[in-house]
Amino acid sequence: MTPAARRGVVTAAREAHGISERRACSIIGADRSAMRYRYRRADDVVVRQRLKELAAERRRFGWRRLKLLLEREGSA
């Protein structure tokens, strides 16, 4: 089960039964720290698009070499 699914189950259990987050997590077996986790990765649409373009041009290059090309361009 994914962490997002566990968060949903814990939230549903809390609302349905009126129990605490701590108790719901212990019953389900989820980490309490995962309940407060927020995704913080920067939105790098431009870099990802350029990476896809480079990968299409140079199909035999691996990710390390493509990363090097991006760094040389100043994108990464």
Separation between Cα atoms, residue 28 and residue 20, nearest integer Å: 12
pLDDT in single tens digits along all 76 residues of the chain: 888 899 999 999 999 999 999 999 999 999 999 888 888 888 889 899 999 999 999 999 999 999 999 999 987 6
Q: What is the spatial distance between Cα 16 and Cα 69, in angstroms, rounded to a whole number? A: 53
For the entire predicted model, the pTM comes to: 0.53
Q: How far apart are CA 9 and CA 3, in angstroms?
A: 10
**Residue extents of the structural domains in the chain:** 3-35, 41-76
Q: How far apart are the first and last CA of the chain?
A: 33
Asked whether the beta carbons of 70 and 60 are under 8 A apart, the reply is no
